[in-house]
Amino acid sequence: MEKKILIVDDDPRNIFALKLTLKAKKFNIETALGAQEAIDKLEKDDHINIVLMDMMMPDIDGYQAIGMIRGINKLNHIPIIAVTAQAMEEDYQKCIDAGATDYIKKPINVDQLLNVIEKVS
């Protein structure tokens, strides 16, 4: 069964690029432009295996969104990969402390992303 990944990002260009890349690798892709849309999709679709969460979004940022997802019992087992342009060492720990399963920085290295997806799934 192919893995279903939810890409959460407020920038449609980032979604487009990631979606194209991951579809080429035979992943089934869902997208959300914000945290609430992501949570709604996760609550309705039991087949999402992994979330790629942009950390820098307006309104509800990735840290808050991860906390919200982790607070919902039926969703708190889903691996969440934090995606951020921040590259400081403390940002990794901040993402993990927020509840992320793993972390990847932008610009995304596809091989590294595939390794992280394999590791968390």
Do the domain assignments include residue 92? yes
Number of domain units in the chain: 1
Q: Which two tokens stand for residue 90?
A: 């403390």
Neighbour-count burial of 41, counting CB atoms closer than 10 A to its CB (0-12 exposed, 13-18 middle, 19+ buried): middle
Do the domain assignments include residue 109? no
- The pTM (predicted TM-score) of the whole model is 0.95
Do the domain assignments include residue 2? no
Contact 120, 81 (CB under 8 A): yes
Do the domain assignments include residue 8? no
Q: Tens of pLDDT along 66-104?
A: 999 999 999 999 999 999 987 777 888 999 999 999 999
CA 70 to CA 77: how far, in whole Å?
A: 8
CATH code for the domain of 36: 3.40.50.2300
* Placement of tokens 């969104």 in the chain: 65
Domain range for 50 = 13-101
| Average pLDDT value for the chain | 94
